[in-house]
Amino acid sequence: MKIVLAQPRGFCAGVIRAVETVELALEQFGAPVYVRHEIVHNQHVVQDLRDKGALFVEELDEIPRSAVTIFSAHGVGKDVEDQARHQGLQVLDATCPLVSKVHNQGRQYAARGYQVILIGEPDHPEVIGTLGQIPAPVVVIRTEAQVAALTFAQDTSLAYITQTTLSVDDTHSLVEMLKRRYPKIIGPDTRDICYAVQNRQTAVRELCRKVDVVLVIGSPKSANSVTLRDIAEEAGTPSYLIADGGSVRRGWFDDKSSIGITAGASTPEAMVEDVLDTLKRIFPLEIENLPGREEHVHFRLPDGLIARQ
């Protein structure tokens, strides 16, 4: 069986920063450290950090006063930041800098008097955090039907921002529809969608041109992993979203001669190796790497941490 590995795949700079934040906090302050929400959407990453002494909670009320507390890569609202200060928590903010950029964009638009429209999944932690960072009403949309249902007058000052982990194509189509309905609307270029998301989406499209079936390794909670699976399906290539090698099913590969493998931005490379080990037990493998964009982005650690030497 021919295996083609997408490039790039797996961990992005924001996830590396978030995971390293928890690991360094455990090294420098000792266990336990508390993490609000899953640090990233991957059960293997979360369990590994839990085994090292991290305690994951959904609400700050679950955290003892003055404890070391980490905000996840998805970001939080101002109310969460205020509550953390009130409880005297020692906060390390692992919010991805690209998510923080969206927060800043939204606040700036609101301060200039624009009605802000946020393109994103309303229940996603990143969107919830972004809504909590903008001190003004924000309308969340995700579909063309929701764009069509907007009732703003043509002279309304409108601006849009986007969740970082959406499909570039989907976002572009919604932005273009907004511009047709409201020609004066302003907003960032769709290239402001996370660079890592764009790179992985480009790679999976190329992968689909070379293989019979695609495996996307990631969590169903991970928006960017789900999007990779959807892109492959839309390209006409059977695609499966799996957590690890234990999710692989032999019947997926009947009459297939090649498998493409990619991984979401919160998926460790160890899970790619786990899937390859499973496939090796099914049939001999011929593995090749798909040429693709190399990533050299590095984000500074949150204040309060000392980087490893």
The residues annotated as belonging to the active site are: 126
Burial class, 74, CB count within 10 angstroms (exposed 0-12 / middle 13-18 / buried 19+): buried
Per DSSP, what are the bridge partners of residue 138? 116
Q: Is 266 flagged in the annotation as binding?
A: yes
Cα–Cα distance for residue pair 70/57, rounded to 1 Å: 10
Helix (H, G, I), strand (E, B) or coil at 242: strand
Cα–Cα distance for residue pair 184/190, rounded to 1 Å: 17
Q: Is 124 flagged in the annotation as binding?
A: yes
What angle do helix axes 13-29 and 97-111 make, rounded to 10 degrees? 110
**Residues in contact with 242: Cβ distance below 8 Å, sequence separation at least 6, in sequence order:** 215, 216, 217, 248, 275
**Residues in contact with 262: Cβ distance below 8 Å, sequence separation at least 6, in sequence order:** 5, 6, 9, 200, 203, 204, 207, 214, 215, 216, 217, 228
CA nearest 136: which of 120, 163, 159, 164? 159
Provide the CA 117 distance to its chain's centre, in angstroms.
Answer: 20
Q: Is 162 flagged in the annotation as binding?
A: no
Cα-Cα end-to-end distance for the chain: 42
Q: Is 208 flagged in the annotation as binding?
A: no
Q: Is 42 flagged in the annotation as binding?
A: no
Q: Is 172 flagged in the annotation as binding?
A: no
Residue 57 is classified by DSSP as: E
Residue 186 is classified by DSSP as: B
Tokens of 74: 């998805």
Tokens of 165: 């982990």
Q: Is 74 flagged in the annotation as binding?
A: yes
Q: Is 12 flagged in the annotation as binding?
A: yes
Annotated binding site for dimethylallyl diphosphate: 41, 74, 124, 222, 224, 266
Annotated binding site for isopentenyl diphosphate: 41, 74, 124, 222, 224, 266
Annotated binding site: 12, 41, 74, 96, 124, 164, 194, 222, 224, 266
